Amino acid sequence: MKRFPIVLAGAVSALAAVVGLHSRTAAGHAISVGPANAGSANGSAGTTQATSPPTTNPSPSTTNPSPSTTNPPPPTTAPATAVARTSTGPVEQYGYGELSVRVTVTGNKITHLAVPTLQTAEQYSQQLAAQVIPMLTSEVLKAQSINIYGISGATYTAEAYVTSLQSALKNLHFS
């Protein structure tokens, strides 16, 4: 099976939002990422953290050209004493590609999520890039509005995401 090392910024925002749907049943963690209305797959990866300000990079870059006088103030949502800790989960295969999740925890909150590794089928990336997103004609049903026993529809990516994320959180002894 062919694999292509293509990084999909668009896919990342969609994936992060999937976790919101998934976390109710899968993980006990309250993962507050992903705008619920992520109907568009065209957002950039950065938009997945829209609700939390980017934390300072925990691994200082040696090529940083300027002294840190321009550092942004620490995020006001996190306790002043909280230290940001980052871990990257293992690369998970999801049937038609693979991905890994990097998580940053500040205090007892997940403050940053990223997908540093994402490989997928070339065709899929082309589809995403070209995708025009129409709406269904029927009324959209919210998952929580009716008693259901399961959801049908491939969720490989979401599950690989959750698995990698859970491992990364375990690395940080975050529960």
Residues that bind another protein (CB under 8 A): 1-2, 14, 17-18, 20-21, 25-26, 34, 36-39, 93-96, 120-124, 126-127, 133-143, 146-160, 162-163
Query: Smaller CB distance to another protein: residue 80 or 132?
Result: 132
Query: Smaller CB distance to another protein: residue 37 or 70?
Result: 37
Q: How far apart (Å, rounded) are the C-alpha atoms in residues 128 and 135?
A: 16
Q: Could you tell me if residue 50 is left (phi over 0), alpha (psi between -120 and 50 degrees) or otherwise beta?
A: alpha
For residue 159, what are the contacts with CB-CB under 8 A and spacing of at least 6?
A: 22, 26, 94
Query: Smaller CB distance to another protein: residue 75 or 89?
Result: 89
Please answer whether residues 89 and 167 qualify as being in contact, where contact means their C-beta atoms are separated by less than 8 angstroms. yes
Q: How far apart are the first and last CA of the chain?
A: 37
Query: Smaller CB distance to another protein: residue 34 or 75?
Result: 34
Element (H, E) at 93: strand 92-93
